[in-house]
Structure 1
């Protein structure tokens, strides 16, 4: 036996495995109560879009923000799985020819390549819908009030005022490059909204104070900006093998990014600033926030 706390990397890997296992179970072939059937090809496409590795960073943020405030770990795991369904649906749809037209995701063929476009659309539709099923289901050990709060927050983060709206702005940016404020808004919606929800969800699951919820929401805003800034840097500097997807596409399409506007050195300094501000928001929690602080640094310094 050992009393040593698992390292950040070990914790991230362990949580990813737990989420992967739950998702595999949730996406099993047996219909749930009041479902009629689960068509095999559609289910295979959903599983292809979800069970393909990945760091599972968003569910990890749900788990760690919940742990910070002493919430229910089982509820956090299910909410994290629901959030991952929304994230994966967005990737399946973003990869479509009408959107970003990508053929590779996490080193594997995208869903519309492995299956077909219609099946990819339906797989994404099904994953988005299933996310809210997972939260609302009796197996999620939360009150109806907490479930309603999570459904509302996730809907706002996912829809036209959040992630989907951000994708619309991203497509528009291919025609008319946005100014700096427009880029920040686009990125806060397309990428940041789900990361912000992941952090705020912990406070809802833990039934924490309004102040805790605001603080974790603000933390999510900071690391969401850092995530996209690091992603833009990687799009500029990393190769496709390391990323598991095509790189350099934003520059090729003439899309404006903060890195393109200000340069690599500025972006690296900005990442340091965002991480410092994120850590400052966690200061009232003391040593309990160590893992979340390490997550902020991991996001800023990631290489894939």
Structure 2
């Protein structure tokens, strides 16, 4: 994944996907949000965001979106307008997202796209916000945005915004979109969801004693497609649900092993092989420019 700038003024930037290597719910806060623990694994694969500055102050998403979200509701547009307002920027921007990450799969596509817009426009507009300020803006857009703003795989707590960078073992992942998308709010309301798990530590995770996704048993019961996919993946390697969507993954030690598993999936499967990384491809691209 790389960034480049053309003579037409467009620049292209990575928006990497993520995995939740585990996810548990510790309880509910007074404001109604749930307290979580998870590990975010960033991937060297994802969407691409194209940006071009405008002099008229307008934030515009040219063309018809391939993902069916109205411009006013699009996280990338909301992120750009929020940064523009807070930093009192007179310039605008055209924004185009080239989607690879499946919608509603729990791979973080919308959040990552929004984070890329925040981080890159902060530079292109010379807004001058530091990482903490950008992460705080990102949290106003979505709970998963801060991890992409900070650009490091991390142990996460709170609603996902309390981040501790972690160095994860090298791994390759087979990602599979089950095609099942359930609204996050509906999953949080599921009566069978475990909402009072005991708190874990990073040491627990490293030892392997903290595994699983609190939403996995809920989705396995509700969706035959998710159940069948996880059963198939479990025969190929250690596997799990990611996030609160219908996306699943299996972990492997090498790219060759992940690609060998990929060819064992049924023809027509929406599946990809990606490498886990500790540092975001977006931040690498920023350093290279």
- Normalising by structure 2, report the TM-score: 0.30
The answer to which structure has the higher strand fraction is: 2
Structure with higher RCO (Cα < 8 A, 6+ apart): 2
Instruction: State TM-score, norm by structure 1.
Output: 0.29
Instruction: Give the number of the structure whose residues are more often helix, by fraction.
Output: 1
